[in-house]
Structure 1
């Protein structure tokens, strides 16, 4: 079993395990759902968030109550976050390697090992339910005894496995580890990997008076102006949600919209706008916002958020490259990217992206930047950003634009514009936030999404 590479899956297992018997042991359905979600993420690159958002309509998740759905999600997320460590632990006890043509065996083992190693659940329960799940899968059923033996051994060696696990060497795919080491140096690369192990932060953008909302919601005001909450209470239960006083948005992702410096009444277009956090910031500042995205479904979410927030925007379902309108005072483009800056929040990204994605996405990013320039009036501002740690999707894109288009100039970002966080600026005045930046006294209050942003101006 390779700790660095997802492969080895029998696609026939995606038909799903046989339906559980009528007398389903408590927790079995949640374990089956977790194993299926892991399989979908690592074989068909289906994001875990998307998988659990669709859980209510997916027949393989039918019958999961809210508690089981939360448990299945917790298992799947920690399994993917610590996938390298889990595979390494399993490989030590699979002397002959993972059997071929074994149905969903690998995913049942990964889900169970995640519970044993990293969740506060009884080991014996994890082993027993994994064996039961194995017996329900036609391809895996002959290996029920193997599952029992391997997982018992994993449980016995648990303390040593956890103590010796390294976030950079074990839980970071090799291609990313090598890139981050080359681009940021080994010390920073290891800090990035370490930050990815922590539970993600919960940040809010508020319409007004962040100090008051931090007090009311038991949070802190970050230097950038976002409010970071101490506890992860269900969002809809928090004061101010129903009244539309704030929205969830990572602190780093909240910076680019502020860099436009738009005044009330300015015409601004947000390309690739969904789910709408940046558009909401622009609208809350008084701008006349046009939100463009190719996904009608994602724009439905944006419209619903705007309704709750009591904000207005013109919403256009369109491919940004084909969108046409009169020139805008400012253009914001959060370009599609590998999203490697969001691994702490979306750990499946580490294992579903490939180095080859950089070239494909880079070509699209280049075209989108050119489109953003074309949509901006002379003298207007363009802010380009990506939630990526990869320079090809950030610094290199801006350098290439400036070489090919003399009508555009860089407008450096000052540390005072981002709360004095000079560590988040590169030498030419571009934002380069890393997951290990903005450290606090405890992990749940520390860190940022990895983010790049550059501010440009179309010359008058």
Structure 2
């Protein structure tokens, strides 16, 4: 695995760019998540390195298209990443050409394996910066980078080619910062969405008003909707399955439910506990495998945000298309239906199961719920009207709601999500 190394007395700009190159290798060649690689970085350049690496992954298709016409053959992997980063900084971020080119050449010279290609880096970038208006025009004329074929094919089949291209364009735009507030809380500069979430264009989370006081938590507007499907939560016993990192646990607790948050990962549950401490909310924390655990008594509601490909979050996590594979789908869909069947055994008669996944794939959403209804004839899907939850009519879907990243394009979009509320047979809990 590629390991970050200390930056020593390196200038901060070069340290950040060097860190970004290591992060790109961490994703593209080690097959590891971008956030995992960031744990090996420190100092003031760390945040910039992570941002630059993410930006480069987001725009990599455009960078590769422009570089392909300017080189007769592919250079070494590290040189290719240096050029991708430099071109992304120049065209997507508008960074000063002098600093970008100088640091790119310096990075090429850092290793004996790539130092001989420093001249290539210099020549390519000098050529691109010689006429920046033309370079920018060429960049902006390029289509949005496409998703991998294993994902494009089922998305085109489910939503149509035009919708697929709109999703890819939404991924390129990235995502704003969404917050879920406690009742009555506002954040200066934030816009309240029709769904109840607060939206900001960005900012350092820890210094925003209300963070230290625990008035809100970071949660995409789409991810906040499944809990809102339940209405009044006061006094309900609710199990949050696969709870980490805890956004829905916080929502449930804030709404007055008695919450049990269960997850198989102790490390991830520590984040849930930290978020509960910061916000002053309470929940019972259980580290267990949901397929083996049995509660002492049944629940009124089970919320299952099931493990999935997470393809609905690509606009926030541009490393995902490089880490997932088609073979992951079968393993995850099998786990999803096992978890649905297990979750139903945890409910009181007439209890509700909220099933949701942050996936773009119907096989992880609509198809799962349709199959569950066939397996359990006494189970029913509660009709959901998108307008009742502040969503456009386009979010209507069989048995539930379907959100795709191109919804609300004029407002900054949404993560991809599918959600449904299923009710078991029997008396409705009081």
Query: Is the pair's TM-score, using the shorter chain for normalization, greater than 0.5?
Result: yes
Q: Please state whether the residue corresponding to 1:319 is helix, strand or coil.
A: coil
Query: 1:317, CA displacement in angstroms?
Result: 0.9
- The question of whether the paired residues in 1 share the 8 Å contact of 2:369 and 2:399 is answered with no
Pair 1:330 & 2:298 matched = no
Q: TM-score, normalised by structure 2?
A: 0.92
Q: How far, CA to CA, are the matches of 2:11 and 2:164 in structure 1?
A: 44
Q: Name the structure 2 match of 1:45.
A: 31
Counting only pairs closer than 5 Å after superposition, residues 42-441 of structure 1 correspond to structure 2 as: 42-52=28-38, 54=39, 58=40, 61-62=41-42, 65-66=43-44, 68-98=45-75, 102=76, 104-156=78-130, 158-167=135-144, 170-209=145-184, 213=186, 216-229=187-200, 231-261=201-231, 263-325=233-295, 326-426=297-397, 428-440=398-410
Q: Please state whether the residue corresponding to 1:197 is helix, strand or coil.
A: helix
Query: 1:451, CA displacement in angstroms?
Result: 0.6
Q: How far, CA to CA, are the matches of 2:91 and 2:146 in structure 1?
A: 14
Query: 1:313, CA displacement in angstroms?
Result: 0.4
Q: How far, CA to CA, are the matches of 1:265 and 1:194 in structure 2?
A: 43
Q: TM-score, normalised by structure 1?
A: 0.86
Q: List alignment gaps of at least 5 residues for structure 1.
A: 1-10
Q: Name the structure 2 match of 1:6.
A: none
Q: Name the structure 2 match of 1:31.
A: 17
Considering only aligned residues, what root-mean-square deviation do their CA atoms show, in Å? 2.0
Query: 1:406, CA displacement in angstroms?
Result: 1.7
Query: 1:26, CA displacement in angstroms?
Result: 4.8
Q: How far, CA to CA, are the matches of 2:355 and 2:228 in structure 1?
A: 12
Q: Name the structure 2 match of 1:4.
A: none
Query: 1:23, CA displacement in angstroms?
Result: 6.0
Q: Name the structure 1 match of 2:413.
A: 447
Q: Name the structure 2 match of 1:7.
A: none
- The question of whether the paired residues in 2 share the 8 Å contact of 1:103 and 1:138 is answered with no
Q: How far, CA to CA, are the matches of 2:279 and 2:420 in structure 1?
A: 28
Q: List alignment gaps of at least 5 residues for structure 2.
A: none
Q: Assess, with a 3 A threshold, how the Cα gap between structure 1 residues 151 and 403 changes in structure 2: closer, same or farther.
A: same
Q: How far, CA to CA, are the matches of 1:217 and 1:319 in structure 2?
A: 41
